[in-house]
Amino acid sequence: MPRAFHSFRVEAIIIKHMETGEADRLVTMFSREQGKLRARAKGVRKIRSRRAGHLEPFTHVTLQLSKSKDYPIITQAETIEGFTPLRDSLTLLGYASYVAELLDKFTYEEGEHAALFHLFRDTLNRLCAPDADHRLVLRYYEFRLLDNVGFRPELFHCVICGEEIKAESQYFSAARGGVVCQNCRHKVEGTVPISVDALRFLRHFQRSPFGEAARAQPSPSAHREMELVMQHYLTYTLERGLNTPKFMRLVG
């Protein structure tokens, strides 16, 4: 009979943690090898604990875990990247929290998804870049996340009649998952208007690699409109509101 392995190693980024017991924490992370995981950090809240600093949100770590009856136990932790700028700015902290919340709410503990791990890591790196347009970073992240979890919005053809969308102001339906042309607007409830300028940039983010997407220069009004459309779609898709956008507005 082959011997069972009782410990394993992962490379992960911490999403959040919750206090449990007298000195423990339940840590939620997204790993390269096993996707989203929860693990228990025993005694980590004690003053002398050496692991506490490695298990803060938005920390890229390698962890040794030991299997147990419920959650794996974190036995060793080593930081790869701390993303320090995210902790030096409330604005950046809000953006990183939003990125982590979306990943947490769109995923389950269902196994490896390396593309999402790399997207999470790359997005945190992009937020730390001193010359970054953080709004573009967030819009690009939203589209890539939706692609990876199977909720890619349709922006090029009307989701009602299938006709190609013309270069003019249209409407967006979260319920139907994409753009509705002016002729079909009356056939579906709950649409929100979307200008030709905002739609053009959303299409650009959806089909371009990050290097090209980051060169876009939307107007302030287009930025705001894109944010509203994406929040409308994300909230509908998740069937619940997000916590971090309010915090982002307060500190942004």
195-221 pLDDT, tens per residue?
A: 999 999 999 999 999 999 999 999 999
Q: What per-residue confidence (pLDDT) applies to 5? A: 55
Q: What per-residue confidence (pLDDT) applies to 48? A: 54
Q: Report the topology of domain 85-251.
A: de novo design (two linked rop proteins) (1.20.1440)
| C-alpha atoms less than 13 angstroms from C-alpha of 216 in its C-beta half-sphere | 28
Q: What per-residue confidence (pLDDT) applies to 30? A: 97
Q: What per-residue confidence (pLDDT) applies to 37? A: 95
Q: Where are the alpha helices (DSSP H) in the chain?
A: 90-106, 114-128, 134-149, 196-207, 210-213, 220-238, 244-251
pTM of the complete model? 0.91
45 against 210, higher pLDDT? 210
Average pLDDT, the chain: 90
Name residues whose C-beta falls within 8 Å of residue 231's C-beta, 6 or more positions apart in sequence.
242, 245
All structural domains of the chain with their residue ranges:
7-82, 85-251
Quick one: CA dihedral 62, 53, 144, 213, positive or negative? Answer: negative
Closest to 230 measured CA to CA, from 132, 126, 113, 144: 144
On whether the 7-82 domain is CATH 2.40.50.140, my answer is: yes
Q: How far is CA 1 from the centre of its chain?
A: 42
pLDDT digits (tens, 9 = 90+) for 90-140: 999 999 999 999 999 999 988 889 999 999 999 999 999 998 999 999 999
